[in-house]
Structure 1
Amino acid sequence: MTTKIHTAVDGRGRPLAVVVTGGQRNDGAMLSQVLEEIVVPRYRGRARSRPDAVIADRAYSSGVTRRFLRARRITAVIPQKRDEIANRKRRGSAGGRPPALDEIRYKQRNLVERSYALLKQWRGLATRYDKLAIVYRAAVVLSACITWARQIGDTP
């Protein structure tokens, strides 16, 4: 009876997309669904739906995820798991090159962690009082709307 919130945030920590799943769900499997939810309207032209980069933790480090992002021309800023590094080294020259990691860009991942911390300030979200997933997701979306309203209200 656990719940996991998968979210994508912009460069200022504001939520762009939210997907709620069961707690046993794999993070990497939900990446495509989270990226499909992103829609950023523009003043002119089509809405933007593809980020420049995905900054994620080691849970998203797999060949499937990296190929998925590469096919969509999205930069993957994801560190490798220790077992993946060991397997690559064990294979020697057949293991291939390690994927590049922009460590300076990876430091921006704290925006995601801070957005989760802000989200969990709501007691109802932190403890999951709602029985229905749709009601729980509505509370998460409402929290995202309030986050956006606060930051837009602060701009001159």
Structure 2
Amino acid sequence: MRRHELTDQEWELLAPLIPRAATGRPRVSDRQVINGMVYKIRTGISWRDLPERYGPWQTVYTRFGRYAMDGMFTRALQHIQAEADAAGDIDWLVQIDSTIVRAHQHAATTGRKGGSVGPDETGDHALGRSRGGLTTKIHLACDGRGRPLAILLTPGQRHDSICAQPLLERIRVPRLGMGRPRCRPDQVIADKAYSSRGFRAYLRKRGIAHTTPEKTDQRRHRHNRGRHGGRPPGFDRQVYRQRNVVERCFNRLRSFRGIATRYDKTATSYEAAVSLASFLLWARSV
């Protein structure tokens, strides 16, 4: 095994989930190709600069695009989550947060004005203008041990509170046996960016406990309304101290240079890269 390649344990977890063609000419080894994908995401190099030991770069690039469109890496992530849940290894004290990723100039050449858009692709390709230029925002929900449970990509200028509900609704951990996927955390920890009345009402409706500090202006408005302002939301400082877990999860994801800077032109490809990196974080923790 070389640097930035799958270990035997990681390959054993991923190999059964890779689709295989029933007919056709012999193709490049699946492990060799997947190692090329991991190497590319780890180092952030262009596809054309892949070392020859991974086979033709066109093969690695084409197969990555096929897996991204098929959602193979997302299914692999859900599968390893299901195995961890069956073993009681998931801490359902869920933390949510977001991080902004700068888009490289290669990612900006998407032909967004009037360009063709795939059936599962947004028109803006999750690229937006913010102070840093073209950026993408990764919204992340992780478990209490700092492993990704759900990922949502939006343009960089999108506010966190708008994306909190769709992010939590992306948590779907399948059951290995009978039963519906688990979608509801025991508790959610979030920072002040998620302190909105609408989000708190959504969590109460789903029966999810939450620990989110109240914004200063919200506290002032409540005090100004007197007895009509209602009770202050509950806040447990000891529980909130665990919010650094999601920051450490982002730190591990951004150790992949292909994640820390976005080089992918489409949101589908970039989300597939984030899902593959998330799968590796899970595989190294089980």
Normalising by the residue count of structure 2, what TM-score does the alignment of the two structures yield?
Answer: 0.51
* Larger RCO (alpha carbons 8 Å, 6+ apart): 2
Deviations 1:5-49 (A, max 9, x none): 111111111101101111111211111211111122334433211
Establish whether residue 136 from structure 1 lines up as the match of residue 270 from structure 2. Answer: yes
Q: Quick one: distance in 2 between partners of 1:4 and 1:30?
A: 10
Please tell me the residue identity of whatever aligns with 1:28.
S
Deviations 1:46-86 (A, max 9, x none): 32111111100100001000001000001121101111111
Q: Pairwise CA RMSD of aligned residues?
A: 1.2
Establish whether residue 6 from structure 1 lines up as the match of residue 139 from structure 2. Answer: yes
**Alpha carbons of structure 1 residues 129 and 43: separation in structure 2 relative to 1, 3 Å:** closer
Q: Quick one: distance in 2 between partners of 1:40 and 1:21?
A: 22
Q: Give the greater-gyration-radius structure (CA).
A: 2
Q: How does 1:7-156 map to 2 (within 5 A)?
A: 7-44=140-177, 45-152=179-286
**Long gaps (5+) in structure 1:** none
Q: Quick one: distance in 1 between partners of 2:186 and 2:159?
A: 23
**Long gaps (5+) in structure 2:** 1-133
Q: Quick one: distance in 1 between partners of 2:172 and 2:260?
A: 26
* Percent of matched pairs sharing the same residue: 53
Q: Quick one: distance in 2 between partners of 1:104 and 1:139?
A: 35
Residue correspondences, number: 152
Displacement after TM superposition at 1:130 (Å): 1.7
Q: Quick one: distance in 2 between partners of 1:71 and 1:150?
A: 35
**Structure that is richer in helix per residue:** 1
Deviations 1:99-125 (A, max 9, x none): 001111111111111101111111121
Q: Quick one: distance in 2 between partners of 1:28 and 1:73?
A: 19
